[in-house]
Structure 1
Amino acid sequence: MKQNIAIVMGGYSSEKQISLKSGNVVYNHLNKLKYNIFRVLILQEKWVALDDSENEYPIDKNDFSFIINQKKIIFNCVFNAIHGAPGENGLLLAYFKLINLKHTSAPFYQMALTFNKRDTLSAVKAYGIKTAMSIYLNKGDEIQLDKIINKVGLPCFIKPNNAGSSYGISKAHKKEDIVPAIEVAYKEDNEILIESFLNGTEVSVGVIQYKGETKVLPITEIVSENDFFDYEAKYEGKSKEITPARITKTQQKKVEKIAKKVYKVLNMTGFSRSEYIFVNDEPYFIEMNTVPGLTEESILPQQAKVAGISLSELFENSIEEALKN
């Protein structure tokens, strides 16, 4: 009997459109002879399942079911393709835990932890992982420019603490840039992170559960045409993403070892893609994405392709791993 699979997409954040694109790619690549697959839009104004003709069917939040042609559809597993809230920050996954519904992401606490940049950095530092110098601010805190500069230096990055896809991130080159950059970050989140600039090669490392094992995918080098790997660089072609990365064997071994360690110490499962910057051959951890982009052009699918894993295999493995656990 075929399993009923929901692909959740949309969400409540600035990343909604990117999530819809990712979710539809997953829908188009999953084997419909093996699974009964439905797209489910999770939006602030509605939760609805879609059929192939884009007809909408309201989701019953008591058990995440819906009725089509007088038949009640109960899902066996959810494929999480929501970037940002509520899919990547743990909220939706806590709900799935309450109703005992399996899903492709890590447990809700791990998702909430890794979505919070400040808390993730605190956790990995305890295991000796190198990170940039940083300062945290909550909305309403006094902005002490000299203290910030003395701690992190210039240039520095100002970013929302809980946001993805590089929304709200700025690079401050001089003292006068800091306050406007803070205001931009506060538009996305009430908590912000200010980090020192690390000058070196940036790489993205995918770590996933694949056929029961933790697998580090081929590494991607990020070469941005812009001042840093911002939204334009990520989604509008303003960067080169080179897989495998043009790094030394020593650098490769170091970052693979650290990426796998970070995945394990954070008790991750499912997909992850983390960013690192090499400084004197040492990889510095920047952040982790637990619902990375899943389009054909996205970094994690690029890495899987180099590893000989098709999108269909990548997505199906994710579902099978979730059903197994």
Structure 2
Amino acid sequence: MILVTGGAGFIGSNFVLDWLAQDDEGVVNVDKLTYAGNLNTLRSLRDDPRHVFVRADICDRAALDSVLAQHKPRAVLHFAAESHVDRSIHGPAEFVQTNIVGTFTLLEAVRSYWGTLPPLKRDAFRFLHVSTDEVFGSLGADDPQFSEATAYAPNSPYSASKAGSDHLVRAYHHTYGLPVLTTNCSNNYGPHHFPEKLIPLMIQHALEGKALPIYGDGKNVRDWLYVKDHCSAIRIVLANGRPGETYNVGGWNEKTNIEVVDTLCALLDEMKRKASGSYREQISYVTDRPGHDRRYAIDARKLERELGWKPAETFETGMRKTVEWYLVNGEWVRDVMSGEYRKWVETNYAQRG
């Protein structure tokens, strides 16, 4: 059995669903169910005995000790995190608590549990920490892509808190010998993405006839990674990665924000044509976020060279699958768009009008 934290969130839920679609090994899914955690995403597993859900906070040491003692996982995959940059600007304390204190609490619980395992199981155990390329800071237009050796230079409370969690994971390997693996991924997109992030937000606003708000000049660059490609990379790193190593996971898809939205509008024009005109007519430019990193780009050659992983989707194929999924799954989107979510969007974008 494996243990997954944050398995009701975007990347975590995709990982759990993909894992159980390909493997009979069970999953203990620990999630606090904050605003972005959604058990409806996992409703297909409701009667599946391979999936055990435990509602718990990773800052709760007693709960973690109990789960580890009861289920005795052979690996822990740590997805749980506060992950939205704008939210971190408005409320950084939650990010420090979850991403740093929570990761520390989880590492302490896992270290204690790992120490009780017999030698062969100790050697086989893995702790895989899922992180972000944002810990590396911002790149200039002509700078080389982030590699595993790039110095950390986080620029937001979110990325700083993730950098802190990365450092803790590294330290627990070097100090205590805990067999850890770390992945730093680029921007994920795909099914079940909470609609505060760029791609699902733009899809929903387009369909509702609202403005499509683009920060600044729209020229900020991100490398886009289809979430199911990310899940396949994590499975490979878990199976074959070298303890203590970090692996960058990227999609080889550098796109400006305005290119992403243009692509979405073209797909929507094709799949859900408006009565007149194009969805592009809804694009508007709003005040940029404070400290907005200009460019992220991942060099994922180490993962390909050492473990043989490459993304299966291009940006075009992944975006088509994503738009199709949101058009078919409007009920899922409506269910997660709670009053808190709507209030957040109104507050965040009202300040940028």
Q: What is the TM-score with the length of structure 2 in the denominator?
A: 0.32
Q: What is the TM-score with the length of structure 1 in the denominator?
A: 0.34
